[in-house]
Amino acid sequence: MKHVTLLAAVFASASFGLNAQTINSNWAPNSGFSQTYNVANISGSISPGSTGASQSWNFASLSSDSVYTETYGSPAAAPGGSSFPTSTVASQWTDGSIQSNNFYLVSSSLMQVVGSFTTTSFGNITISFSDPMDYLRFPCNLNDAYVDSFYSSINATTGLSFQQNGRNSVTVDGSGSLTTPVGTFTNVLRVKSVEEYTNFGLPPIPGSSNTGTITNYYWISSSHPGYYLMRYTIEETPTTVPDTSISYVNPGQVGINDLDVADLNITPNPANELIAVNFTSGQELAGVEVLDLSGRVVAKESIIGKMNIAVVSTSHLNNGMYILRATNAHGASVTTKIFIAH
């Protein structure tokens, strides 16, 4: 049985700082966000490249013959969402007859995997974490490293049921530039995660193993919030040949917003009564909206004269995390997370 990994579905999902920068939770994908990826054709051996600062990772020779799109939304609206009340965002992607819905908890200090609900032609599969997997901890910088344990229960409508525990070792092991068939991206961090797992209570299946390792390399940039630029995955068990897969952001999707979250100035954050918003890049600000985690607009404000600053009242909002969406005069928008603390 091929191990179902949630790490490959994320990128989401947490905000990363690059080179000397610090990554925080503003990078995480928000409800309403979607991203399309190319799946690479792999022939021969492809190395993930070297570790350390000032790297130049070059994968320009990759080619692709398929794509998939990952969409993020409210957990309450996602299939199986009622099983994961602590999640703050859900992702969904489809591969043929398989639809995977993955659930995450994002806060200012970490991003956790709390579960998944997958529909297939032979039934549904629910993975519930009693000990969630820490996907990323914030703030995050080059050379950061940690190990986190996890425990989950896997239940299928076919009657199959077993448990899984393990540990996830995460290292921010490199920084520099990344080249894919899309182009070259600068100020990139590479995050390596090694997920080691053991299954308990799984009936014997010829050719399968109850232990395995999934190694992921993610290349990410603060200039492209909400998605990875490339992912390199190796799945290994004692009884199978290592399975390598690579995906990279779709060319048609890069720069779709024409805005960079790094150009967005928000003061203060966390906010109490008011929050001021403007673009440091000189872009003309047309409007600002604040959304709750279900995607509902809970505050909005217009521009103040030639200063091109929006001041939004937040006094009526409950403490917690919200999504701020800023739109420029051309209709392009950028989103990021804000926090209210009265």
Average pLDDT on 214-231 reads 87
Average pLDDT on 140-147 reads 94
Question: What confidence score (pLDDT) does residue 219 get?
Answer: 93
Determine contact, residues 138/24, Cβ cutoff 8 Å.
yes
Percent of residues, the chain, with pLDDT higher than 70: 85
Inform me whether the pLDDT recorded for 119 exceeds 90: yes
**pLDDT tens per residue across span 69-117:** 899 999 999 999 999 999 999 999 988 889 999 999 999 898 899 999 9
Average pLDDT on 209-236 reads 89
pTM for the model stands at 0.70
Question: What confidence score (pLDDT) does residue 26 get?
Answer: 80
**Rounded mean pLDDT of the chain?**
84
**∠ at Cα 252 (251, 257), nearest 5°?**
110
Determine contact, residues 91/13, Cβ cutoff 8 Å.
yes
Domains parsed from the chain with CATH numbers? 7-253 (no CATH), 261-340 (2.60.40.1220)
Mention every residue, 6+ apart, whose C-beta is less than 8 A from residue 243: 2, 234, 235, 236
Average pLDDT on 324-339 reads 74
Mention every residue, 6+ apart, whose C-beta is less than 8 A from residue 248: 37, 38, 40, 59, 62, 64, 180, 181, 182, 229, 230, 231
Inform me whether the pLDDT recorded for 8 exceeds 70: no
Determine contact, residues 256/224, Cβ cutoff 8 Å.
no
**∠ at Cα 75 (170, 117), nearest 5°?**
70
Inform me whether the pLDDT recorded for 18 exceeds 50: no
Inform me whether the pLDDT recorded for 20 exceeds 80: no
Question: What confidence score (pLDDT) does residue 9 get?
Answer: 41
Question: What confidence score (pLDDT) does residue 65 get?
Answer: 78
Inform me whether the pLDDT recorded for 238 exceeds 50: yes
Phi-psi region of 23 (alpha: psi -120 to 50; beta: other; left: phi over 0): beta
- 60 vs 176: CA distance, rounded Å: 16
Question: What confidence score (pLDDT) does residue 185 get?
Answer: 81
Question: What confidence score (pLDDT) does residue 262 get?
Answer: 65
**pLDDT tens per residue across span 242-297:** 999 999 988 555 443 445 666 788 999 999 999 999 887 666 787 888 888 777 78
- 77 vs 127: CA distance, rounded Å: 18
**pLDDT tens per residue across span 37-69:** 999 988 778 999 999 999 999 998 888 878 888
Give the gyration radius of the chain's Cα atoms: 20
